[in-house]
């Protein structure tokens, strides 16, 4: 964890409330990976990161999971950010599993449906 914080130039003496949202996410990842837990549960870890930081975050996460042989479950509303980093797509709703597919299966089943209503230009994505 210390090595990762050094790479990010985040001083160990910084208080969490003094850090940006992106820095807080990076500190959280460093601490989580430092535990070497067999399963990591990350709730919207990419939400406060810019696109470059998201790529770096996912690169670090994927490398650590491969090296440690652990599993990471992460929630995200931005599927395009994680499709290269994840093995499976799990969709939950109302406390139930709605969908559980490999990334390849989900891409093969993906369809875009365009709907148009008066004064509306909505694009919906459905499986």
Backbone φ, ψ for residue 107 (5° rounding):
-65, -40
Q: 3-state SS string over 3-65?
A: HHHHHCCCCCCCCHHHCCHHHHHHHHHHHHHHCCCCEEEEECCCCCCCHHHHHHHHHHHHHHH
pLDDT at 112: 66
Contact 5, 27 (CB under 8 A): yes
Domains and CATH numbers, the chain: 2-126 (3.40.50.300)
Contact 70, 87 (CB under 8 A): no
Predicted pLDDT of residue 113: 59
Q: Which residues of 84-97 are buried (b: 16+ CB within 10 A; e: fewer)?
A: ebbeebeeeeeeee
- Block means of pLDDT (10 residues each) for the chain, 127 residues, are 74 80 82 89 87 87 91 85 83 85 84 61 48
């Amino acid at each position: 964890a210390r090595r990762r914080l050094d790479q990010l130039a985040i001083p160990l003496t910084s208080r969490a409330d003094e850090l940006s949202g992106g820095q807080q996410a990076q500190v959280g990842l460093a601490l989580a990976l430092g535990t070497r837990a067999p399963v990591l549960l990350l709730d919207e870890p990419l939400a406060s990161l810019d696109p470059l930081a998201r790529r770096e975050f996912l690169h670090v996460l994927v490398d650590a999971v491969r090296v440690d042989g652990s599993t990471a479950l992460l929630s995200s509303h931005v599927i395009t950010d994680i499709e290269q980093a994840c093995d499976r797509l799990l969709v939950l709703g109302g406390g139930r599993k709605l969908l559980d597919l490999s990334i390849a299966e989900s891409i093969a089943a993906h369809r875009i449906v365009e709907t148009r209503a008066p004064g509306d230009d909505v694009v919906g994505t459905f499986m």
